[in-house]
Amino acid sequence: MPHTVNVSMCLDFLESHLLSEPEKFSDYPEFSKDVEWMKGLRNSIEHYEFRFTTRAVRLLIGRIVRGMIELTETFSLLDLEDEIGAKHFNVFSTLADEYEHYEQEALLTVKEAKKQAFRGVRPKHYMFVEWAIYPCPECNHTMIPDERSPTGYACTFENCNNTESEDIEVDCDICGCPWPNGEMTQWTDTYDYVCPRCEDPEAW
């Protein structure tokens, strides 16, 4: 019988193979993050739930090509330049470089925002600084605090513009403890955010 090899199985195989040679592909965590993003992108396209600007398309292609180049070179699968020709390879390499530039810009934004959040604060008071970062569910880059965002957080990557994540913590309306908003429940006409502990105290 035909057997479908899904993305998770491929990643599991690759990860197990790398356990014996971890130095061979040190960027595996980033690569697996890219693969998960590609899977989400494919699903969105498949269900016609997408809209891209020209710049967004350039970054999307650049990210895909960057991952393909890393994988094929690391495991000597093929020479991409030989496969598609030098002219086309140069175009794709330019897009990959453009993506990496914006990726570095996003990382710098996170670093600068954290530095600003803790500027002038004595180390013993760091615990009182409201600083948290979350993986962006749209592009797998990083969300940081943003006063202009309706949720208080925004993705740092160019053209993503996502402000939503079920990982973002909000305070429970009953006990006041922070909890990921995706795990909260709503009590009609009473509370908007009820944490699992208050929802079912006996389970805790």
Tens digit of each residue's pLDDT (9 = 90 or more) over 90-111: 999 999 999 999 999 999 999 9
Residue 60 vs residue 24, higher pLDDT: 60
Contacts of 144 (CB under 8 A, 6+ apart): 109, 110, 113, 114, 133, 153, 154, 156
The span from the CA of 33 to the CA of 141, in Å, is 9
Question: Any idea which residue has 């002038």 for tokens?
Answer: 120
pLDDT bin (cut points 50, 70, 90) of residue 72 is confident
Q: Sign of torsion, CA 34 39 45 49?
A: negative
pLDDT surpasses 70 at 158: yes
**Model's pTM, two decimal places?**
0.74
Tens digit of each residue's pLDDT (9 = 90 or more) over 135-154: 999 888 999 999 999 999 99
pLDDT surpasses 60 at 3: yes
